[in-house]
Amino acid sequence: MRKFTEDTYCKLQDLLGQANWNFINSLDIDGAFTTFITTITDYLDTVAPETTISIPLHKLRCEPWFTKGFMQTSKTVEKLYRKKCKQPHDYHSHKILVYSSYRNLYNRLKRLARETYYCQILSNFKNDINNTWKTIVIGKIGKTHEKTTITEEFKINGQHTTDPQTISNEFCKFFSQISCKLQDDISP
């Protein structure tokens, strides 16, 4: 990640303004492009070097059923995996067997925790269909998608139209005829 500030932009602009670009005319197109990109990248690295950022685990978005215990267990599974990778491919090795059994237990418990969590939530909303569907959507997708814009232009018979009446009539015609078309396509 690069950190850009107003000062960074000014420094980059100064460096690019002071650069000698005359050599580009004497190169072939590929050489000129490569030299141009290399020069810009070098200047960019000078004024705004790339840095690696790390996001703390507590800042990461987790599933609501994913507890601190699961987080710790996932670290243990990762450590066991690294130890397993150091071993040659001896499938009867103790470290490989420990990793496999621990990983399988971890995955089984994750599935059970997710299932238990959503069963409990759905049982709380068993008489409230709106919250039931919200829970199902959040559980399947992981986040809600709010649609704030509706397409105003549609392509009908090869022509783009924004007339609401035409669009409405075409939708009505499509949905009233689709069952007949599907019925004709499906053989008994």
Comparing CA positions, the residue from 155, 185, 183, 180 lying closest to residue 170 is: 155
Comparing CA positions, the residue from 82, 57, 94, 54 lying closest to residue 72 is: 57
* Model confidence, pTM: 0.43
Handedness of CA 111, 114, 116, 119 (dihedral sign): negative
Q: pLDDT tens digits for 72-119?
A: 888 888 888 888 877 666 666 777 788 889 999 999 999 999 889 888
